[in-house]
Amino acid sequence: MDLLLQHGRPASTTGRSEKEIAVYDYLDSLSVSYDRIDHEAADTMEACAAVDKALAPATICKNLLLCNTQQTSFYLLMIREDKKFKTKEISGQIGSARLSFAPGQYMEDFLNTSPGSLSVMGLIFDTGKNVKLLIDEDVLKAEYFGCHPCINTSSIRLRVCDLLEKFLPAVKHGYLPVVLS
């Protein structure tokens, strides 16, 4: 797979989804600099290997939508790709009962995205503030991170400081740092 790293939004929006363009519009409105790669659908971490290499030195994140047993509290977990989600580790840190993966419908309802495309960028659509953001401390220590722009046929790289200082305040979401082994 020959991947071309490009700076900023695509020159043409033809064939691109509204939600993907909404992400680029939002980042541009905040003067957030980002690099982008277009690629075949990559809905698993294995399928993202070549993309990850092209986005280096970005820390590539797995993004997991979690919920409590009653499905009344929802969390978007940004975890470094080489780590595993362990409910016991997270639950104790955030003071929640056992967490599990949220049904895919909640990704659509709250974040306007689908399984395989989940990303922190979906918070632009969470106007009801239904989702709390949890970020792996190792992601927070990185200079750059990579994610999808709410569609799994493109990936973007941006600075962690832009996420924390520009993006999250603009979407009116905070975050909780979490420690994962």
Calpha distance 124→147 (Å, rounded)? 14
Backbone angles phi, psi at 80, to 5 degrees: -60, 140
Calpha distance 61→64 (Å, rounded)? 9
Q: What is the model's pLDDT at position 81?
A: 85
Q: Does domain 6-178 have CATH number 3.40.30.10?
A: no
Per-residue model confidence as pLDDT tens digits over 115-171: 889 999 999 999 999 999 999 999 999 999 999 999 988 999 999 999 999 999 999
CA 22 and chain centroid, separation: 15
Domain-wise residue ranges, the chain: 6-178
Mean per-residue pLDDT, 13-28: 95
Residue 61 bridge partners (DSSP): 80
CB atoms near residue 41 (< 10 Å): 11
Per-residue model confidence as pLDDT tens digits over 30-75: 999 999 999 888 666 666 777 888 888 998 888 999 999 999 999 9
Local confidence band at 2 (pLDDT 50, 70, 90 cut-offs): low
CB atoms near residue 159 (< 10 Å): 18
Calpha distance 137→180 (Å, rounded)? 8
Calpha distance 67→64 (Å, rounded)? 10
CA 121 and chain centroid, separation: 6
Residue 7, SS3 per DSSP = strand
C-beta of residue 80 within 8 angstroms of C-beta of residue 136: yes
pTM equals 0.92
